[in-house]
Chain A
């Protein structure tokens, strides 16, 4: 029994020591290093498709381009400012360290997607905010993402697939907004047209 306990303690010790040293995959470079401007979008996508992992830099650049399609000219042009913009949008925690060429987590991407699609989530997400874990679970629930955990990484092809789904849903949201605005406008117009007649009667 004593030997068993000692074994368990030793194992825990080894796990603690080595577990803390576990690192994420780091690429030599990011695609955005070569194709940084919005005009390079198509070359960026082609090169990203061939990557086995999507880096933080590539993910944030692509997500910002998708999130702010009307403001491509105002998009940040270097990694620091891109991360700052991501922090402003709540995609990345203030104290989080994100090496540019390290593989992006599904959780970080999921938080950004929830922001872009205005997904409020369930009770936990509403109370504690869009954490990577619950944002990931929310996207799985909505069938935007297949079963993944928030610490996994994505391949380039998977990321582009996800991006396409998000952009498609964003278009639906935009169309709904436009329809609602049109309906409000028509109601207002109808109200103003009816008003003089009412006064006359």
Chain B
């Protein structure tokens, strides 16, 4: 029995208990107390119809069954491709809080039971707060001085998709598992956080940027937070904070206590070191040629490693954990090689994806091109467009996108792993075509 069903039966059980208790009281002729005893004596109470116990029991069971069915229907997935718009309901309001249906509409004061559609914007004042039930699976507590948007609240097939944006201030989120796939994303002007199901708080302000904090309801439990691009996983509890500036809460606390380590720029003040660095960066044709060789050898080594041919590990998500992408490139200018690799993928993204698509269809992993395919392509393009100089985190970010895509279209870790392998083969295909060698030669002077 799923968690949701268990919950329904628990709820149903409580309901049955209440109704049975009511029925017993009713059947035993318990009537409400009347304050006016004289009137009670004057007018004898109306005769109480004692219903058959079996009849009451059947009625209660029917009602409980209907309630349970209703709850189960809420957690039923829709047909694939079918979408249903969901709404948010204001559960509680404190102080000055307003909302509007879209960016053009006028603000109106928030009241309990107000129903908000996708696209709604909410704002709160200095001593204000607001609690929203969003869709079927989430609760949001909007803190003071906050402006929050809800661009999307939909059920898409078996997925509950919710987008929340914190433009300013803080909001606490509780995302429940109800048997459907959660696709809950919180964005701030600097960060996007994907949530699978947890309670946490997120705030955005001018002083420290985005911060992920333990939810106010979460004083002792921990939050596991994985940064999408860097794949850094941190655990939070109590008052710990993880921010995009300092992801590790332990280091954040340490820096707050003793200050950050000496910055690299400070080290440059040392004249000798500047000269060493200048020498290290000095280029000559021989070094360039060596760089090409190293790059090609590294790539060859990398793909000779069991990256794309490795049998599936526990799940597709652990795919990249099985190797250290920095290792084949260290210590000879690893970051520059990542710049090359990611740059190459970005440049050849269209042919790589065409080959990827063909591979997926040939392997019969999909019968038609899934809709997430285009989104994955766009997401990788976004990584490509985000900066001019790429790093290891971009490389990992691209593979994260591929892994997420593969997990979303397949039903088992084996299939997910095969899907990622197909992407790898598509990539190698481009390498083998000689395009990568030419790309390196064309980009020797990259910085």
> Which residues of A line the B interface, CB within 8 A?
41-42, 45-46, 49, 65-66, 69, 143, 145-146, 154-165, 167-168
Q: Are B126 and A157 in contact (CB under 8 A)?
A: no
Instruction: Provide the residues of chain B in CB contact with A65, threshold 8 Å.
Output: 126
Contact A164 B205 (CB under 8 A): yes
CB contacts (< 8 Å) of A161 on chain B: these are 205-208
What are 27 A-B residue pairs whose CB atoms fall within 8 Å in the complex?
A42-B98, A42-B124, A45-B123, A45-B125, A45-B145, A46-B147, A66-B126, A69-B127, A145-B207, A146-B208, A154-B206, A155-B206, A156-B206, A157-B205, A159-B206, A160-B169, A160-B205, A160-B206, A161-B205, A161-B206, A162-B207, A163-B126, A164-B144, A164-B145, A164-B205, A167-B144, A167-B145
The answer to whether B168 and A160 have CB atoms under 8 Å apart is yes
With a 10 A CB-CB cut-off, give which of B107, B126, B168 has the most chain A CB atoms. B126
B170 CB within 8 Å of chain A: yes
Asked if B367 is an interface residue, CB under 8 A from chain A, the answer is: no
A158-B143 Cα distance, complex, nearest whole Å: 17
Question: Contacts A65-B126, A163-B126, A163-B145: A42 and B96 contacting too (C-beta < 8 A)?
Answer: yes
Taking a contact as CB atoms closer than 8 A, the residue among A46, A156, A157, A168 that contacts B144 in the complex is A168
In the bound assembly, the distance between CA atoms of A11 and B145 in angstroms comes to 48
Output the nearest chain B residue to A166 by Cβ-Cβ distance.
B126
Q: Which of the residues B98, B170, B256 comes within 8 Å of A164, measured between beta carbons?
A: B170
The answer for the CA separation of A56 and B169 in the assembled complex, in Å, is 23
Chain B residues near A165 (CB, 8 Å)? Answer: 207
Q: Known contacts being A157-B168, A167-B145, A168-B144, is A42 close to B207, with CB within 8 Å?
A: no
Q: Which chain B residues lie closer than 8 Å to A164 at the CB level? A: 126, 143-145, 169-170, 205
Nearest residue (CB) in B for A171 is B127
Q: Tell me if A's interface is mostly helix, strand, loop or mixed.
A: helix
- Please name the 10 residue pairs, one residue from A and one from B, whose CB atoms are nearest each other, closest first: A161-B205, A158-B206, A157-B206, A161-B207, A164-B145, A41-B125, A161-B206, A42-B125, A158-B207, A42-B123
List B residues 94-134 near A (Cβ within 8 Å).
96, 98, 107, 123-127
Q: Which of B123, B126, B205 contacts A167 (CB 8 A)?
A: B126
Residues of B within 8 A of A (CB): 96, 98, 107, 123-127, 143-145, 147, 168-170, 205-208, 256
Complex: A172 Cα to B123 Cα, angstroms: 22
Give every chain A residue within 8 A of B256 (Cβ-Cβ). Answer: 143
Report B-chain residues with C-beta under 8 Å of the C-beta of A159.
206
Closest to B125 in A: A41
Q: Which residues of B contact A163 (CB under 8 A)?
A: 126, 145
Inside 8 A of B147's CB, which chain A residues have their CB?
Answer: 46, 49
In whole Å, how far is B396's beta carbon from the nearest beta carbon of chain A?
29
B123 touches A160 (CB 8 A): no
* Chain A residues with CB under 8 A of B205: 157-158, 160-161, 164
Considering the chains assembled together, what is the distance between the CA atoms of A191 and B63 in angstroms?
55
Contact of B107 among A42, A156, A158 (CB under 8 A): A42
A46 to B169 CA separation, bound complex (whole angstroms): 12
Q: Which residues of B contact A162 (CB under 8 A)?
A: 207
Contact of A49 with B127 at beta-carbon distance under 8 Å, contacts A160-B206, A161-B206 already known:
no
Q: How far is the CB of B262 from chain A (nearest CB, A)?
A: 16
Chain B residue contacts of A154, Cβ below 8 A: 206
CB distance from A52 to the nearest CB of B (A): 11
Q: How far is B299's CA from A157's CA once the two chains are assembled, in angstroms? A: 46
If A165-B207, A167-B126 are given as contacts, then 4 extra A-B residue pairs at C-beta distance below 8 Å, sorted by A number, are: A42-B98, A158-B207, A162-B207, A167-B145
- Minimum Cβ distance to chain B for residue A39 (Å): 8
What is the distance, in angstroms, from B259's C-beta to the closest C-beta of chain A? Answer: 10
**Contact for B123 among A46, A145, A146, CB less than 8 A:** A46
Q: How far is the CB of A176 from chain B (nearest CB, A)?
A: 17
In the complex, the chain A residue whose C-beta lies closest to that of B169 is: A164
From A146, A155, A160, A163, name the one whose CB has the most chain B CB atoms within 10 angstroms: A160
How many angstroms between the C-alpha atoms of A103 and B292 in the bound complex? 54
Which residue of chain B has its CB nearest to the CB of A144?
Answer: B207
User: Which residues of chain A have C-beta atoms less than 8 A from B168's C-beta?
Assistant: 49, 157, 160
CA distance A66 to B145 in the complex (A): 11
Q: Which of chain A's residues have a CB closer than 8 A to the CB of B144?
A: 164, 167-168
Say yes or no: A146 contacts B207, CB within 8 Å.
Answer: yes
Chain A residues with Cβ below 8 Å from B170 are 164
Residues of A within 8 A of B169 (CB): 160, 164
| Nearest CB of B to A107, in Å | 16
Q: A104: shortest Cβ distance to chain B, in Å?
A: 14
* B residues in contact with A168, CB < 8 Å: 144
Q: How far is the CA of A66 from the CA of B207 in the complex (A)?
A: 19
